[in-house]
């Protein structure tokens, strides 16, 4: 699976979750993975999905919950369909409340769906209504609807979609965590390889090998991913021009920014701003 694309999702540090709502989805996004959990509900379409190393067909509707860093892709009928995608960080498992009795069912659900699990739906399944209601919910009502959906899913029989080792793994290394924290805090500034390798008392070449081994990404690829992620947030929530965003996110020229953004998101920054305004709730 060398051609797996690393997706930068719109989930920010202060988001509990993000909902994306697609009508007439084109199913043209390449096989990809990301650092967040994902619930994907496909309605009114026939097709196939690939989750990890497992491929299977579906008819009418499909609902899957996927753990972080597991490759996935859907292919289906492109007209008349509806797709609801809910993405949320695995950091939720670290919330103290998840250890409370009332939340244990959700904690167990997220521990069970590794690498992914399919939820079987009936024609008028309440889970479909719950997921669709989340598209329209706002504020605290959305939070309640989100936890209600997870709790309802926890009570279902799950078809766990086999074992999968993506090779892309989060590292518990303190040195990796230190470097990532530095990169996140200084993402809009010039960051040299020597800046981060010196943080962990390693040579540039040793650090490059170490970082790649633990994340399956080169440091520059990781850093560019952070910058593209920041650019996405600014395109979504500010009126800053593309040029202003380019410089604010640490890119040294606009053509390089446009090239890397197109490579990461499959569209230009301007096209992304127009596209996300239609699907981001």
> Do the beta carbons of residue 217 and residue 256 sit within 8 Å?
no
Residue 31 CA to residue 49 CA, distance in Å, equals 10
User: Is the Cβ–Cβ distance between 152 and 158 less than 8 Å?
Assistant: no
Which positions ≥6 away from 144 have C-beta within 8 Å?
Answer: 137
Taken in order of first residue, the domains within the chain and their CATH numbers are: 5-160 (2.60.120.280), 174-279 (1.10.10.60)
Nearest to 272 by CA among 248, 220, 237, 223: 237
Query: Across 2-6, 67-71, 252-256, which has the greatest mean pLDDT?
Result: 252-256
Of 201, 188, 269, 195, the closest CA to residue 230 belongs to: 188
The pTM score is: 0.66
Question: pLDDT for 146-171, tens place per residue?
Answer: 999 999 999 998 898 865 554 444 44
pLDDT of 21 over the 70 cut: yes
The mean-pLDDT minimum among 49-63, 71-85, 122-136, 267-281 falls in 267-281
Residues facing residue 51 across a β-bridge: 54, 72
Sequence-separated (6 or more) residues with CB below 8 Å from residue 239: none
Q: Tell me the pLDDT tens digit for each residue of 168-191.
A: 444 446 788 788 888 888 989 999
Residues in the chain: 281
Residues 6+ apart with CB under 8 A from 132: 84
- Rounded CA-CA distance 141/136 in Å is 10
pLDDT score at 125: 93
User: pLDDT above 90 covers what percent of the chain?
Assistant: 47
Q: Is residue 206 pLDDT above 90, yes or no?
A: yes
120 contacts 42 by C-beta, under 8 angstroms: no
């Amino acid at each position: 699976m060398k051609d797996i694309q690393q997706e930068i999702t719109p989930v920010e540090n202060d988001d509990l979750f993000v909902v994306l709502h697609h009508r007439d989805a084109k199913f043209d996004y390449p096989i990809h993975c990301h650092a967040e959990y994902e619930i994907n509900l496909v309605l009114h379409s026939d097709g196939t999905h690939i989750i990890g190393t497992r491929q299977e067909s579906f008819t009418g509707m499909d609902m899957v919950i996927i753990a972080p860093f597991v490759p996935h892709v859907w292919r289906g009928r492109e007209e008349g369909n509806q797709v609801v995608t809910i993405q949320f960080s695995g950091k939720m498992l670290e919330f103290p409340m998840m250890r409370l009795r009332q939340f244990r069912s959700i904690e167990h659900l997220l521990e069970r769906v590794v690498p992914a699990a399919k939820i079987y739906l009936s024609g008028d399944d309440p889970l479909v209504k719950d997921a669709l209601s989340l598209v329209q919910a706002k504020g605290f009502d959305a939070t309640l609807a989100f936890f209600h959906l997870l709790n309802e899913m926890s009570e279902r029989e799950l078809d766990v979609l086999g074992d999968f080792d993506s090779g892309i793994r989060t590292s518990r290394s303190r040195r990796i965590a230190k470097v990532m924290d530095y990169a996140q805090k200084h993402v809009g500034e010039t960051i040299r390889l020597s800046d981060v390798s010196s943080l962990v008392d390693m040579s540039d070449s040793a650090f490059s090998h170490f970082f790649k081994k633990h994340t399956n990404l080169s440091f520059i690829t990781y850093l560019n991913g952070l910058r593209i992620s920041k650019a996405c947030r600014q395109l979504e929530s500010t009126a800053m021009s593309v040029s202003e965003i380019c410089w604010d996110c640490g890119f040294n020229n606009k053509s390089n920014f446009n090239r890397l953004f197109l490579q990461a998101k499959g569209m230009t920054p301007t096209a992304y701003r127009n596209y996300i305004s239609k699907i981001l709730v």
